[in-house]
Amino acid sequence: MNQEKVIVLDFGGQYNQLVARRVRECSVYCEIYSYRIDIEQIKAMNPKGIILTGGPNSCYQEDSPTYGKELFELGIPVLGLCYGAQLMMHILGGNVKCAPVREYGKTEVFVNPKTQLFEDITPKTVCWMSHNDYIESVAPGFEITAHTADCPVAAAENEKNKLYAIQFHPEVLHTEEGTKMIFNFVRKICGCSGSWRMDSFVEDSIRSIRDKVGDGKVLCALSGGVDSSVAAVLLSKAVGNQLTCVFVDHGLLRKNEGDEVEAVFGVNGAYELNFIRVNAQERFYQKLKGITEPEEKRKMIGEEFIRVFEEEAKKIGAVDFLVQGTIYPDVVESGLGGESAVIKSHHNVGGLPDCVDFKEIVEPLRNLFKDEVRKAGLELGIPEHLVFRQPFPGPGLGIRIIGEVTAEKVRIVQDADAIYREEIVNVGLDKSIGQYFAALTNMRSVGVMGDERTYDYAVALRAVNTVDFMTAEAAEVPFAVLQKVMGRIINEVNGVNRVVYDLTSKPPGTIEFE
Ligand code: XMP
């Protein structure tokens, strides 16, 4: 991509992706690289600015992540954040030490608003601090531009050489004017024009997909989730009927979901593409008979999915390109982008490439964050209910039914879940809760309905607040809402006589039940 960009050098900080997101919020394209990247590679990219992230180490210790001095001599503006700030000082001749008072949390910082970095910032502003080390003295040529009660150097700069160091974390939302500071750096100091927008992304992508694909045949596994839907629509806009989308309905989708996907992408939908829906429900239920162990279920569903897809792909024959809905966090987390290699444990279509006869992979969303994928989706005119879909696991309801999966249990959990989701939307909580759904426990218990004794299943309701889905807290759904959902499920869903609310956080629980 030949456009102006800022690069983030990742020193292992937990907020590396946040830094890149904030830069992009300023309409500037940004990529994350490990601090191990070679200086020649940086020069070849010709970035408009470089940001060094925080990190867990002490820069004065041997073996801590570092960089050569030449990074600061490229004539490119550099902004160091926390560890990045300390490292800049350390390398350029300042002094960094273990702080007598560790600063953590929201802190009042006194900044010099006459500087370009803090232009339009309130002189006393709340920032997010998290550091053990501190800059005791700045490097030659630097001036102190901010301090706190405990920290003499909360920010410093060498304006002539365009080098800036900030001890706190402007990328974290607790830093009230942080985005403005990042805007000042990338737009004013680095001089980026701010041309990174989703409409231009969509236009550029369509053009580059056309160049790449030519008159080739393209195959896409469509799940109905946000990423594969946006990828499919981009491809459809670029190459129309050269694209075939295969949608495998494994019978473990939410209520009416298969029909909803078909309504959007099928023959009566809005897009030019070949849509194949494979109704494999019975086949999956047969395979799942008698399987109760969670991992075995997951494995079976994944394998069967690939088998079904493979059969369809064989009917289509050789294709030139296979579409994958990879997004930027997948790239970074698989260790290709930044420094923190968190390997994803859930792969929905893992193994798919092996079963298709294709020449090349197309990953049109590879550079986007999730919220940008959503923006691109809206830009492309994809219906909001698809664009703002909550995460849904690849194995679907199979892992929300504890114990053996049967068609009857799928019906129960689909109906209960639909009621729960409807009521959450009715009270306007759908945008604020990270993920919410109903699961079917394997517990049956005695109840009484009318004058009759019942012996039916218990449905568990789950709702969590989460930022990254790695940790989560149970959401405080108002009791009146839970009561209403309980009443409706018991009255409307045959086979259920008890409803419980799951209070478990993650850890020790997981978000899903299996
Ligand atoms: P857990 O249950 O591990 O879930 O706390 C974290 C997030 O991942 C989703 N999830 C999956 N997503 N394939 C997926 O694509 C899977 O096999 C899978 N299992 C869990 C889950 O819905 C939650 O958002």
DSSP string, 55-80: -SS-TTSTTS----GGGGGSSS-EEE
Q: Which of 171, 304, 512, 514 is catalytic?
A: 171
pLDDT in tens, 179-216: 999 999 999 999 999 999 999 899 999 999 999 999 99
What is the reported pLDDT for 335? 59
Cα of 513 from ligand 1 centre, angstroms: 10
Known catalytic residue: 30? no
- Residue 94 pLDDT exceeds 50: yes
Q: What sign does the dihedral 105-170-153-145 (CA atoms) show? A: negative
- pTM (predicted TM-score): 0.83
| Residue of 304, 333, 402, 511 best suited for mutating to test ligand 1, as the one with most atoms within 8 Å of CB | 511
The closest of 154, 101, 153 to 128, measured between CA atoms, is 154
Q: Is the CB of 471 under 6 A from ligand 1?
A: no
Angle at 40 between CA 20 and CA 333, to 5 degrees: 35
Kindly state the average pLDDT of the residues 342-351: 44
Please work out whether the CB of residue 506 comes within 6 Å of at least one atom of ligand 1: yes
Phi, psi of 459 (to 5 degrees): -95, 140
Q: What pLDDT is recorded for position 329?
A: 84
For residues 15 and 6, give the distance between their C-alpha atoms in angstroms, rounded to a whole number: 16
Q: What is the mean pLDDT of residues 174-182?
A: 96
From 303, 345, 512, 514, the mutation candidate for ligand 1 (largest count of ligand atoms within 8 A of CB) is 512
Q: How many Å separate Cα 251 from the centre of its chain?
A: 26
Predicted local distance difference test score (pLDDT) of residue 345: 39
- The band of 343, judged by pLDDT with boundaries at 50, 70 and 90, is very low
Residue 442 phi, psi (nearest 5): -95, 15
Q: How does 413-449 read in b/e, with b if 16+ C-beta sit within 10 Å?
A: bbbbbbbbbebbeeeebeeebbbbbbbbbeeeeeeee
Mutation to probe ligand 1, out of 469, 502, 504 (largest number of atoms < 8 A from CB): 469
pLDDT at 336: 54
Residue 36: pLDDT over 80:
yes
Task: Provide the pLDDT for residue 301.
Answer: 96
Q: Atom of ligand 1 at shortest distance to CA of 302? A: 17
Q: Average pLDDT, stretch 404-420?
A: 98
Reported as a single tens digit per residue, the pLDDT across 294-303 is 999 999 999 9
Are 65 and 35 in contact by the 8 Å Cβ rule? The answer is: yes
Which carries the bigger pLDDT value, residue 346 or residue 150?
Answer: 150
pLDDT exceeds cutoff 90 at 385: no
CA quadruple 101, 102, 108, 114: dihedral sign: positive
- Per the annotation, the verdict on 169 as an active-site residue is yes
| 469 Cβ below 6 A of ligand 1 | yes
In angstroms, how far is the first alpha carbon of the chain from the final one?
Answer: 41
Q: Give strand pairing partners of 127.
A: 107
| pLDDT of residue 342 exceeding 50 | no
Q: What is the distance between the alpha carbons of residues 413 and 405, in angstroms, rounded to a whole number?
A: 11
Q: Is the CB of 339 under 6 A from ligand 1?
A: no
- Residue 25 token pair: 């919020």
CA distance 113 to 396: 52
pLDDT at 249: 97
Distance 512 CA to ligand 1 centre (A): 6
Mean pLDDT value of segment 223-228? 92
Residue 241 is predicted with a pLDDT of 97
Task: Compare 265 and 356 and report the one with higher pLDDT.
Answer: 265
Give the percent of the chain with pLDDT over 90: 86
Q: How many other CB atoms are there within 10 angstroms of residue 197's CB atom? A: 14
Kindly state if the Cβ of 393 falls inside 6 Å of ligand 1.
yes
Ligand 1 centroid to Cα of residue 514, in Å, is 9
CA of 29 to the centre of ligand 1 (A): 29
366 lines ligand 1 (CB under 6 A): no
Q: How many CA atoms lie within 13 A of 30 on its CB side?
A: 33
Q: Is the CB of 41 under 6 A from ligand 1?
A: no
From the CB of 269, is ligand 1 less than 6 Å away?
no
Tell me phi and psi for residue 431, to 5 degrees: -85, -20
Nearest by Cα to 99 from 167, 170, 163, 176: 167
Predicted pLDDT of residue 337 = 56
pLDDT of residue 333: 72
Q: Is the pLDDT of residue 475 over 80?
A: yes
Phi, psi of 345 (to 5 degrees): -90, -15
Please state, in angstroms and rounded to a whole number, the distance separating the CA atoms of residues 142 and 165: 9
What are the DSSP E strand ranges found in 315-403?
321-323, 360-362
Q: Is 302 in the pocket of ligand 1 (CB under 6 A)?
A: no
DSSP E strands, 169-300: 218-221, 243-249, 274-279
* pLDDT tens, residue by residue, 230-249: 999 999 999 999 999 999 99
Q: Between 13 and 140, whose confidence is greater?
A: 140
Given pLDDT bands bounded at 50, 70 and 90, which one contains residue 352? confident
131 is annotated as an active-site residue? no
Per-residue pLDDT at 115? 98
The H-or-E segment that residue 100 falls in is strand 95-111
Ligand 1 atom with the shortest distance to the CA of 399: 19
